[in-house]
Every structure is written in structure tokens, then in C-alpha cells.
């Protein structure tokens, strides 16, 4: 069990955490620091720390935390837990936006219609496209979303609100 501060004289506690865990995978590291900033918490977690506590913690809670981590649990100070959850939410939202942005408007239209249960032929008629073009769009959609079936794409479209985006169903090419 190793207790480290995020910032140490002559070096980074985060780098030390990474090095300690790289040398001995059985080690457990708790970051005990006065820094509650989001980046320090995130970097500590990514370095492999099992806990992140603020120095304001009382002696009894610190002892309980060390025992808890030694038993294999992970823990975060309540003040930093909120920041971690906010960062995860931002990352998830950002990831979703990136994926949605990767789809062209035409691919979104095709996906929307496919999610409504329309066949390639029906989608082609609605969007004034050839069957081959629709098939190509479906293939691109599956690739961009890292999915393997049309059904998965339909579920994805529903879960991500694509059916409510208001894309026009008809667009002359």
C-alpha cells in the first residue's frame, strides 16, 4: 500500500503511481492530496490509483480507506466523486456528438428511415436514391457506428434520438 501526493518535490505523484504499479501489479496506491481539480483526479485514476482522498480526511476515515483499498475496493473522496461523474458525462456526451457528427446528413436520413423499419427499396424511393446507394449508405453507417447489423443500427438510432431530429425524409439528389 502506497500513499502519494499528486504533486511532490522533484516530481509527480501521478508519474510515481504509474511507475510503482508498472513494477509491481500487486501494489495499491491511494492519492492523498489537497488538490481536488478534475485533471489531477482523472490522471490519477488513469495512472491506476485505487483511491483519491483529500488531506482533510480524518484519521479514522483514512484508516478505513486504507483497509478498504487493501481489500480490493476503490474509493474517491465525495468532493471529487462529483467531478469524476461530471467528466464521465461530458466525455460520453462528447463521444456521442462525435459519432453523430461522423454521419452525413444523408446517412442520418437513411438510418432514420431504416430504424422506422423501411426496406432499402422503400428508403431509395423516399430519398430518390438507387437501391445500391442506400445499401452503400447502410454499410457506411454500420462501419462508422461499429455495428454489425441493421437491427443494431435501428436500436442505436432510437437510443440516440435520431428519430426525433427532424431530418427531411425526402431530398432530391
pLDDT values of the chain reduced to their tens digit, one per residue, 173 residues: 999 999 888 889 999 999 999 888 788 999 998 888 888 888 888 889 999 999 999 999 999 999 999 998 889 888 888 777 777 777 666 556 666 678 888 999 999 999 888 999 999 999 999 999 999 999 999 888 888 888 888 888 888 777 765 444 444 44
C-alpha cell at 90: 461530458
Residue 122 near residue 58, CB atoms below 8 Å: no
> What pLDDT is recorded for position 11?
84
Residue 173 near residue 129, CB atoms below 8 Å: yes
Which residues, other chains included, contact 165 with Cβ-Cβ below 8 Å and sequence gap of 6+?
Answer: 108, 112
CA 44 to chain centre: 17
> What pLDDT is recorded for position 132?
95
> What pLDDT is recorded for position 31?
93
> What pLDDT is recorded for position 172?
44
- Would the pTM count as exceeding 0.75? no
> What pLDDT is recorded for position 130?
94
> What pLDDT is recorded for position 79?
82
Domains assigned to the chain: 2-90 (3.40.50.2300), 103-164 (1.10.10.10)
CA 31 to chain centre: 23
**Residues facing residue 53 across a β-bridge:** 32
Residue 57 near residue 37, CB atoms below 8 Å: no
Amino acid at each position: 500500500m502506497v500513499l502519494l501526493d499528486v504533486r511532490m518535490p522533484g516530481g509527480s505523484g501521478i508519474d510515481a503511481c504509474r511507475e510503482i504499479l508498472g513494477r509491481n501489479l500487486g501494489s495499491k496506491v491511494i492519492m492523498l492530496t489537497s488538490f481536488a481539480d478534475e485533471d489531477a483526479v482523472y490522471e490519477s485514476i488513469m495512472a491506476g490509483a485505487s483511491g483519491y482522498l483529500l488531506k482533510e480526511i480524518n484519521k479514522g476515515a483514512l484508516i478505513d480507506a486504507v483497509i478498504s483499498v487493501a481489500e480490493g475496493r476503490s474509493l474517491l473522496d465525495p468532493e471529487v466523486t462529483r467531478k469524476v461523474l461530471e467528466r464521465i458525462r461530458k466525455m460520453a456526451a462528447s463521444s456521442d456528438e462525435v459519432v453523430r457528427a461522423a454521419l452525413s446528413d444523408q446517412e442520418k436520413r437513411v438510418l432514420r428511415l431504416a430504424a422506422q423499419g423501411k426496406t432499402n427499396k422503400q428508403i431509395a424511393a423516399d430519398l430518390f436514391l438507387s437501391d445500391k446507394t442506400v445499401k452503400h449508405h447502410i454499410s457506411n453507417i454500420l462501419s462508422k457506428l461499429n455495428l454489425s447489423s441493421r437491427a443494431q443500427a435501428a436500436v442505436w438510432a432510437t437510443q440516440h434520438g435520431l428519430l426525433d431530429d427532424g431530418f427531411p425524409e425526402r431530398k432530391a439528389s
